[in-house]
Chain A
Amino acid sequence: EPEVTQTPSHQVTQMGQEVILRCVPISNHLYFYWYRQILGQKVEFLVSFYNNEISEKSEIFDDQFSVERPDGSNFTLKIRSTKLEDSAMYFCASTRDGTAFSYEQYFGPGTRLTVT
Chain B
Amino acid sequence: AQSVTQLDSHVSVSEGTPVLLRCNYSSSYSPSLFWYVQHPNKGLQLLLKYTSAATLVKGINGFEAEFKKSETSFHLTKPSAHMSDAAEYFCVVSDLLGNTPLVFGKGTRLSVIA
Contacts and interface: CB of A to CB of B under 8 A. Distances in A.
B46 interface: yes
B12 to A, nearest CB: 19
A100 B101 contact: no
**Interface residue range, chain A:** 20 to 34
B32 A56 contact: no
Interface in B69-91: 90
B97 interface: yes
A31 interface: yes
A45 B107 CA distance: 15
Contacts, number: 66
Contacts of B52: 100
Nearest to B103: A45
Contact of B104 (A33, A43, A100, A101): A43
A20 to B, nearest CB: 19
Interface in A66-116: 91, 93, 95, 97-101, 103-110
A48 B106 contact: no
**Interface residue range, chain B:** 20 to 34
Interface in A43-75: 43-45, 48, 50, 55-56, 58
Nearest to A102: B98
Contacts of A101: 51, 53, 98
A110 B43 contact: yes
A91 B38 CA distance: 12
Contact of A42 (B42, B97, B107): B107
B99 interface: yes
Interface of B: 32, 36, 41-46, 49, 51-53, 90, 94, 96-107
Interface of A: 3-4, 31, 33, 35, 41-45, 48, 50, 55-56, 58, 91, 93, 95, 97-101, 103-110
